[in-house]
Amino acid sequence: MTGMNAFIHDLIAYSPQILTGLKNTMLLMGIISVTGFFGGIAVFYLTLSSRKTCRIITEKYISFFIGTPLLVHLFLMYYGLPELGVRISPLTVSVIGFTLNVSAYNARYLMTAFHGLDRMELEAARAEGFTPLEIFCLIILPQTLRRAVPSLTNQVIQNLKDTSVAFLIQYNDFFSQIQEVASTNFEFFKAYVTAGLVYLALVSVIVVLSRRLEKRIALPGF
């Protein structure tokens, strides 16, 4: 068999494992996109707290997870915690590590969008007797979410790409299976190009869906 034919043969032979890995990649991306979204909202809410200590701690949290590599957090939990007698599955470690990281980024996106809101509207709500929670849920959150849609959807794309590092903590994802194929036939270039094309196709689907979402809920004149 020629090199390309042999490579395609190996891909077909490993297709069940590759498809399982792809399913695991999509599962992880879906979970962390949801948990990171709601986690970001929670962190964003705390940044608006009337308590200075709460705001400071929240800002430190955001700065820490944005300023440190995600891989360090994953390694710390997966390889470090067993030294303390704590063992966590690769999926659980990935979900926890990614959620903490993505929540910080999403909170930052929401904070940026919040700075563009009309403060007079918030003052009017306070004057009408709205509680801080009501102001957040009914006025701040809906508007900041709409303004932050481009950033939040870009984060989903980033989530998909970042899942490829999970194989370093033994998570059975798509990239780990492509790595297995490459290590079997030593066709590393072809294997990684194939992986890149698959990721590109998945990202393209997310981009199309996100652009439709942006157009549907975009603020007039924004």
Segment 170-215, tens digit of pLDDT: 898 999 888 888 888 787 888 889 899 999 999 999 989 888 887 7
Q: Is residue 113 part of a domain?
A: yes
Q: Is residue 222 part of a domain?
A: no
All residues at 6 or more sequence positions from 139 whose CB lies less than 8 Å from its CB, including other chains? 121, 122, 125, 130
Q: Which pLDDT score is estimated for 218?
A: 62
Among 147, 44, 32, 30, which Cα is nearest to 104's? 44
Least confident of 55-59, 82-86, 122-126, 198-202: 122-126
Q: Which pLDDT score is estimated for 122?
A: 82
In this predicted structure, the answer to whether residue 220 has a pLDDT above a threshold of 70 is no
Q: pTM for the complete prediction?
A: 0.88
Alpha-carbon gap, residue 24 to 176, rounded angstroms: 11
CB 93 within 8 A of CB 71: no
Return the CATH number at 20.
1.10.3720.10
Q: Which domain holds residue 142?
A: 3-217
* Cα dihedral sign, 215-27-152-44: positive
Q: Which pLDDT score is estimated for 179?
A: 86
Cα-atom radius of gyration of the chain, to the nearest Å? 21
> In this predicted model, what pLDDT tens digit does every residue of 40-76 receive, in sequence order?
999 999 999 889 999 999 999 999 999 999 999 999 9
Q: Is residue 158 part of a domain?
A: yes
The count of domains in the chain is: 1
